[in-house]
Amino acid sequence: MSKSIVERAYYLMKLGRVFEERAKEEYMKGNISGFLHLAIGEEAVHVGATLAFGKGDIFVHYREHVWALAKGMSPKSLMAELFGKKTGVSKGKGGSMHLYEPLLNFYGGNAIVGAQIPHAVGAAYARKYLGHTEGVLVAFGDGATNAGNYYESLNMAALWELPVLFVNENNLYAIGTRIDRASAVKELYKKAKEFMPAERVDGMDFFQVYDAVSKAKEYIETEGKPYYIEFLTYRYEPHSMSDPGDYRSPRELKVFHDKDPVEFLKREGIKRGLFDENFVKEIDERVEEEIEEAVKFALESPEPEDAELFTDIFCEVCTDVVP
């Protein structure tokens, strides 16, 4: 893995972390309303998978800010979207759960658990039908693996040999329900093994995430068949800002805090001689400034006009969609 990729990863993971910590603060101040789901703790999966997947299409759930930043969305248009402002990526009418930018091959932002899975399979079908070689990545939580459309999607992807990479972010909880109370099969990758190659990988370790997704991407695009990775990860915050999150033990939180993916990458990057303390200091300062500017931009941006409610509801001629 090249030094520049690891440097980029540290920048993006730190950007995602500080963005979300700041979004939490702004929510508490009342500048952000509606739902806000934070992915603090899951950055290695979001950044590692996106960097390894390159330009391909990505479909995700509602815990999506870090995916969007890693895909190239600007912190300004993302923060403005959370503030419901006209300058937001979805012109202020989507909010945190509905980020969408076809020019970045970023297709959501889905509030319905598992909804993105059949969408991604459809996109992979289109890719194959049109003779494209690029694959499609779809991310979803452990809770989504108990939904009916999840199985239908795995079945179709395997049956029709579609180039789709299923990324399961197993953070152990679906809102407050722990995985062992919701899933009869605890090792989630085993639920996919009958359909396609499937494995389990440490989702707190950027290097392992990047390597696993690189290998899987190669497989789906050369074989033209689906692949599945279950990443073991953790969210440090409650499910959303409206969840008190009192269902997890301090001991469990400590175990995962000790494996903090941003701190891990910082330590490993320095240990492996990929960057040094000065680089980390520079990036940390740059990120603080960028997020400060993003908040200022969001605060100063105008509200959308009422007529905005009726625009971009669907596209008749999708000229801005990358084929």
Ligand X SMILES: Cc1ncc(C[n+]2csc(CCOP(=O)(O)OP(=O)(O)O)c2C)c(N)n1
CB of 241 vs ligand X, minimal distance in Å: 13
- The rounded radius of gyration (Å) of the Cα atoms in the chain is 19
Residues 6 or more apart from 4 whose CB is under 8 A from it?
Answer: none
| Residue 318 makes contact with ligand X by CB under 6 A | no
Contact 231, 167 (CB under 8 A): yes
Among 66, 124, 174, 298, binds ligand X (CB under 6 A): 174
Residue (of 264, 88, 249, 304) closest to 65 by Cα position: 88
**200: its two tokens:** 């389990």
The residue range among 105-113, 129-137, 223-231, 241-249 that interacts with ligand X, by the rule CB under 6 A, is 105-113
Please give the Cα distance from 163 to 2 (Å, whole number).
26
| Residue 143 makes contact with ligand X by CB under 6 A | yes
* Between 141 and 163, CB nearer to ligand X: 141
| Residue 139 makes contact with ligand X by CB under 6 A | no
| Residue 171 makes contact with ligand X by CB under 6 A | yes
Among 76, 91, 127, 239, binds ligand X (CB under 6 A): 239
Helix (H, G, I), strand (E, B) or coil at 177: strand
| Residue 144 makes contact with ligand X by CB under 6 A | yes
| Residue 112 makes contact with ligand X by CB under 6 A | yes
| Residue 304 makes contact with ligand X by CB under 6 A | no
CB of 143 vs ligand X, minimal distance in Å: 3
**220: its two tokens:** 């789906």
* Between 61 and 76, CB nearer to ligand X: 61
* Between 132 and 178, CB nearer to ligand X: 178
Cα 18-21-22 angle, rounded to 5 deg: 85
Peptide bond into 109 cis (omega under 30): yes
Residues that bind ligand X (CB under 6 A): 63, 111-113, 141-144, 171, 173-175, 239
